[in-house]
């Protein structure tokens, strides 16, 4: 079939080569952005008198028709038209006749595709921000219910000190808050119009870039036409922000997987977010958490692949850049899906507060309490640490916990200990007393909750 760019060519490529070079199978996701960009461009062509008002209006009507068809899923794309831009231009000409061929005056596919990508990401980043907020709301909702639910806090995955479960959940709230800020902050570098940069050097037509940018809702225009068509930094930044955000999701995924194991039994996931085994009837697997942990692989891969595509590329547009799209689409879909799943999974999980509390009682995570108690009585902390370490060993040999010791046993270890030690060793009291700013003390967690709520 004759190409829209076919004038200089004496033969058309074989079909399999055409297919190899085509992007229509995936860039059709940009159909609405492409039409939006074309509408702004052709309005600008009419306003500046580059096309007559009649021509501009005729083309606008044709584009609106295509938009309707696109929304109804009625457009039929063809590989021989290569990409979304040429497909739509061909359809426009079929729709309104040769005047459709005037749409491409003063622009190129290079600024056109860049415009589409900016429009697309600007929208999608806002969608992702909204989903981050939903997940934050789910964390806040559970945290609020579990300010006074205590469980062991871990370092090295070894029980360390008792903490509030609300405090633990809110740690993820703040990670997500930084992710949200990074996405918000990136918007100002996405919200720039490349349209009118044309192929690379600008155009001889008296176009008005500010006007088309304004029509598209962009806050500014690229200052340099070459930068405008070759910049994909905004995509790298999006992929990088996504990689870090999904890293955070994998950490929580890992905890959810651990917590829902028989060994921990701290939570039970709602059935919606788990699946059974085809052979073992008793199984309830935390599939969704595992899957998100695994999907981080593709998100990291997409970042590395984009960096590799750009590395060493000379100015300006190079066909390599067509490879920027699939990873971006895939990352958008992965992030939206993962955040949505997580919000629901957190919101609906059952927290087994009694098991968590039991884990704290059957444990030495109140040992620091005893060391602090001795230190408060004037014993140098290093010595207090040694005394408590020996007591822990004594308990291990006796197969009991610190709270099981008699006052005589305590006094034997250190004469300074009196019977107020039992109150100090209570895990709930241990948590309550960690009231330093940002600590796990219940009052601090309540303050944190108030701050978190203001941000969602
Ligand atoms: N399909 C191309 C892409 O996605 C559009 C830009 C093509 N420009 C060109 N000069 N061949 O990158």
pLDDT averages per 10-residue partition of the chain, 456 residues: 82 89 98 98 98 98 98 97 98 98 98 98 98 98 98 96 97 98 98 98 98 98 98 98 98 98 97 87 92 98 98 98 98 98 98 96 90 95 96 96 95 94 93 96 98 96
Which residues participate in catalysis according to the annotation? 156, 277
3-state SS class at 316: coil
**Residue 249 and residue 129 share a domain:** yes
Tell me what pLDDT residue 415 has: 94
Q: Is 109 in the pocket of ligand 1 (CB under 6 A)?
A: yes
Tell me: do 343 and 272 sit in the same domain: yes
Q: According to the model, what pLDDT value does residue 13 have?
A: 81
Q: Are 220 and 162 in contact (CB under 8 A)?
A: no
Question: Would residue 353 count as lying in a domain?
Answer: no
- What is the SS3 assignment for 193? strand
Residue 7 located in a structural domain: no
Are residue 136 and residue 266 in the same domain, yes or no?
yes
Structure tokens belonging to residue 148: 């006074």
CATH number at residue 337: 1.20.200.10
End position of a domain, from candidates 105, 139, 166:
105
Residues 136 and 236 in one domain: yes
The dihedral through the CA atoms of 90, 92, 98, 102 has a sign that is: negative
Q: Is residue 402 part of a domain?
A: yes
pLDDT at position 308, please?
A: 98
In a domain, 274, yes or no: yes
In a domain, 250, yes or no: yes
How far is residue 57's CA from residue 49's CA, in Å, rounded to a whole number? 12
Atom 2 in ligand 1: which residue has the minimum CA distance? 322
Q: Is the CB of 183 under 6 A from ligand 1?
A: no
Between the CA of 113 and the centroid of ligand 1 the distance, in Å, is 7
Residue 301 placed within a domain: yes
288 lies in the same domain as 216: yes
Rg of the chain, C-alpha, whole Å: 31
Q: What atom in ligand 1 is closest to the CA of residue 321? A: 12
d(CA 98, CA 60): 14
CA distance 443 to 441: 6
CATH of the domain at 399: 1.10.40.30
In the structure encoding, which two tokens stand for residue 228, read together? Answer: 């405008």
114, 64, 118, 57: which is closest to 88 by C-alpha?
A: 64
**Which of 348, 368, 388 corresponds to the end of one domain?**
348
Task: Give pLDDT, residue 24.
Answer: 98
Tokens of 340: 């949505």
Question: Ligand 1 in contact with 234 (CB < 6 A)?
Answer: no
The two beta strands, 158-164 and 150-155, are antiparallel
Residue 299 sits in the same domain as residue 385: no
Classify each residue of 21-33 as buried b or exposed e, where b means 16 or more C-beta atoms within 10 Å of its C-beta: ebbbebbbbbbeb
Is 3 inside any structural domain?
Answer: no
23 lines ligand 1 (CB under 6 A): yes
Residues 252 and 131 in one domain: yes
Determine if ligand 1 sits within 6 Å of the CB of residue 116: no
Q: Which of 24, 110, 114 to mutate to test the pocket of ligand 1 (most atoms within 8 A of CB)?
A: 110
Q: Quickly tell me which residue has 């090295």 as its tokens.
A: 156
Same domain, 96 and 134: no
Pocket test of ligand 1: the residue of 77, 109, 316 to mutate, having most ligand atoms within 8 Å of its CB, is 109
Nearest-atom number in ligand 1 for the CA of 199 is 10
Please give the Cα distance from 72 to 66 (Å, whole number).
Answer: 10
Domain membership flag for residue 247: yes
Domain total of the chain: 3
pLDDT of residue 420: 94
Q: Which atom of ligand 1 is nearest to the CA of 27?
A: 4
Q: Which residue spans within 238-364 are E strands per DSSP?
A: 267-268, 350-351
Name the domain boundary from 71, 105, 139.
105
**Residue numbers of the domain that contains 413:** 359-455
Residue 367 and residue 250 share a domain: no
My answer on whether 133 and 214 are in the same domain is yes
Residue 62: CATH number of its domain: 1.10.275.10
Pairing of strands 150-155, 267-268: unpaired
Residue with CA at minimum distance from ligand 1 atom 7: 109
* Distance (Å) from CA 222 to ligand 1 centroid: 19
Q: Are residues 374 and 427 in the same domain?
A: yes
- Claim to verify: residue 399 and residue 257 sit in the same structural domain: no
Long-range contacts of 218-223 (CB under 8 A, 24+ apart): 218/118, 218/191, 218/192, 218/193, 219/188, 219/191, 219/192, 220/191, 220/192, 220/193, 221/192, 221/193, 221/194, 221/195, 221/196, 222/192, 222/193, 222/194, 222/197
Tally the residues of the chain. 456
């Amino acid at each position: 079939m004759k190409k829209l760019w076919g004038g200089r060519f004496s033969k058309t490529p074989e079909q399999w080569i055409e297919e190899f070079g085509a992007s229509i199978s995936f860039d059709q996701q940009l159909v609405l952005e492409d039409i939006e960009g074309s509408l702004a461009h052709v309005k600008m062509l009419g306003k500046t008198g580059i096309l007559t008002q009649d021509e501009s209006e005729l083309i606008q009507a044709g584009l609106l028709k295509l938009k309707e068809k696109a929304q109804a899923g009625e457009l039929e794309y063809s590989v021989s038209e290569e990409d979304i831009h040429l497909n739509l231009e061909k359809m426009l000409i079929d729709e309104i006749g040769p005047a459709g061929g005037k749409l491409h005056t003063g622009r190129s596919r290079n600024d056109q595709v860049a415009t589409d990508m900016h429009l697309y990401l600007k929208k999608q980043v806002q969608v992702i921000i909204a989903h981050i907020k939903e997940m934050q709301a789910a964390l806040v909702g559970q945290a609020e219910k579990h300010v006074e639910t205590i469980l062991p806090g871990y370092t090295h995955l070894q029980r360390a000190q008792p903490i509030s479960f609300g405090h633990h959940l809110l740690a993820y709230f703040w990670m997500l808050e930084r992710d949200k800020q990074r996405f918000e902050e990136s918007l100002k570098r996405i919200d720039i119009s490349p349209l009118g940069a044309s192929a690379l050097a600008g155009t001889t037509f008296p176009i008005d870039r500010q006007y088309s940018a304004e029509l598209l809702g962009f806050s500014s225009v690229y200052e340099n036409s070459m930068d405008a068509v070759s910049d994909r930094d905004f995509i790298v930044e999006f992929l990088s922000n996504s990689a870090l955000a999904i890293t955070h999701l994998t950490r929580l995924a890992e905890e959810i997987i651990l917590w829902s194991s028989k060994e921990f039994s701290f939570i039970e996931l709602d059935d919606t977010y788990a699946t059974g085994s085809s052979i073992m009837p008793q199984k309830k697997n935390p599939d969704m958490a595992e899957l998100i942990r695994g999907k981080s692989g593709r998100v990291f891969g997409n970042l590395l692949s984009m960096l590799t595509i750009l590395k060493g590329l000379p100015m300006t547009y190079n066909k390599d850049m067509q490879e920027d799209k699939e990873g971006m689409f895939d990352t958008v879909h992965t992030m939206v899906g993962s955040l949505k799943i997580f919000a629901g999974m957190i919101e609906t999980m059952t927290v087994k507060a009694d098991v968590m509390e039991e884990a704290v009682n059957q444990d030495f995570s109140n040992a620091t309490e005893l060391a602090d108690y001795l230190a408060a009585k004037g014993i140098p902390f290093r010595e207090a640490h040694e005394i408590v370490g020996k007591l822990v060993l004594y308990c291990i040999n006796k197969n009991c916990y610190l709270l099981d010791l008699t006052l005589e046993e305590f006094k034997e270890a250190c004469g300074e200990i009196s019977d107020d030690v039992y109150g100090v060793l209570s895990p709930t009291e241990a948590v309550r007393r960690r009231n330093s700013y940002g600590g796990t003390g219940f009052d601090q967690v309540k303050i944190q909750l108030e701050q978190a709520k203001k941000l969602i």
